Amino acid sequence: MEKWKTELVPADEANIARAAALLRQGEVVGFPTETVYGLAGDALNPEAVEKIFRAKGRPQDNPLIVHIASMEMLPDLVNNPPELAFKLAEAFWPGPMTMVLPKSARIPDVTSAGLSTVGIRFPSNPVAQALIRESGLPIAAPSGNLSGRPSPTAAQHMMEDMDGRIPMILDGGPCAVGVESTVIGVGEDRVRLFRPGGITVEMLEEICPVEIDPGVLHVVEAGRKVASPGMKYRHYAPKADVKIVEGSFDAFRAFIGRQAGEGVFAIVFDGEETALPVPALSFGAEDDPAAQAHLLFDLLRECDERGAKEVYVRSPRTTGIGLAVYNRLLRAAAFQIVHLDESGVAAQ
Ligand code: TXA
Ligand code: MG
């Protein structure tokens, strides 16, 4: 891999033009979207796409999402999308929704990791749109973290992971949503949810029936073939050992009292922090999943910086964007869940 002196620059017009020129030359750059920061490369140039995989250390069998900035870009990238795809685009694009559709011959195999489909997304972030328009390219972009680390929701987080690996990161401020896009497979009359995100199940159900792939909430056993390769990786793993804790706050407090010790942290809801004998970070009010989505990845990074060894997280509600929060937490926790009874004792 080339060694770069990575520039972290404001996402103004001049720097967007420079980033677009780099993309046209087959280089890769960091850029903001409304979900998380992405690592961009020309989706149609296999060498550029290989640079993305190398910079992230990403497994070759995990396909990339291709980003567009107008509906006119779509026909070139996909083959005979079902009518439903246009209905969904009308409802939710630009925005945090990725549709998995049959790919056209223009999409190189490295981009789609050898699948016959490709994930397409039309982001709403103005910098992302300007970069796509200015480069004139469909842009392949995974989240801009090193593979296995929490996704970056600020340019500085991406710098921590990518410094020296890429030429430039455009700083467009913190990401509005904070978790990655909703990924759906689109059929004739229904969709299948592969990854929950900012476009929620409830929103999709306004348009058509939604089937939730078992991989969203359950461990994918080793060797099983999955519809969306990202589901089988642990992901978002901070260095600490994360566990989700189910039960009331009283039970949580009693439980944490017995776990307390060096390197033990808690992630809890607003107002609960001060009642605990360990360092506790709040990820928002219990009934505010949008706030939790916005903060989750930041808090996982913060726990690492503060030397956390074990992190116990209050289990969030799974309605609306809460399902995305819970799905990311499950992966951060490698599916470890502690179930507490009312006295705070863990069920065996
Ligand atoms: O919000 C987002 O989607 C961000 C920003 C940068 O746009 N991107 C992102 O990309 O999260 P990445 O590569 O970190 O996650 C893409 C997910 C993976 O779980 C991958 O397996 C799935 O989408 N995916 C991509 N193409 C697919 C396909 N053809 N079929 C099934 N799953 C696909
Ligand atoms: Mg990712």
Tens of pLDDT along the chain (348 residues) come to 778 999 999 999 999 999 999 999 999 999 999 999 999 999 999 999 999 999 999 999 999 999 999 999 999 999 999 999 999 999 999 999 999 999 999 999 999 999 999 999 999 999 999 999 999 999 999 999 999 889 999 999 999 999 999 999 999 999 999 999 999 999 999 999 999 999 999 999 999 999 999 999 998 877 777 888 888 766 677 789 999 999 999 999 999 999 999 999 999 999 999 989 999 999 999 999 999 999 999 999 999 999 999 999 999 999 999 999 999 999 999 999 999 999 999 987
Helix (H) or strand (E) holding 325: helix 322-332
Q: Could you check whether the bond before residue 94 is cis, i.e. omega within 30 degrees of 0?
A: yes
pLDDT at residue number 187: 97
- Among all ligands shown, which has an atom nearest to the Cα of 142? 1
Q: How many CB atoms lie within 10 A of CB 218?
A: 11
Q: Find the 145 Cα to ligand 2 centroid distance in Å.
A: 7
**Phi/psi-derived region of residue 253, left when phi > 0, alpha when psi is between -120 and 50, beta in every other case:** alpha
> What is the residue with the minimal CA distance to atom 31 of ligand 1?
228
The Cα diameter of the chain in Å comes to 62
Residue 153 near ligand 1, beta carbon < 6 Å: no
Residues 6+ apart with CB under 8 A from 234: 148, 331, 334
The answer to whether 236 is annotated as binding is yes
Is the C-beta atom of 100 inside 6 A of ligand 1? yes
Supply the pLDDT for residue 221: 77
Q: CA-to-CA distance for 57 and 274, rounded, in angstroms?
A: 39
Output the pLDDT for position 294: 97
Instruction: Say yes or no: CB of residue 6 within 6 Å of ligand 1.
Output: no
Does the beta carbon of 150 sit less than 6 angstroms from any atom of ligand 1? no
Closest atom, ligand 1, to C-alpha of 177: 1
Closest-CA residue, ligand 1 atom 20, reads 230
Which residues are CB-neighbours of 226 under 8 A, at least 6 positions away? Answer: 215, 220, 232
Q: Is 118 in the pocket of ligand 1 (CB under 6 A)?
A: yes
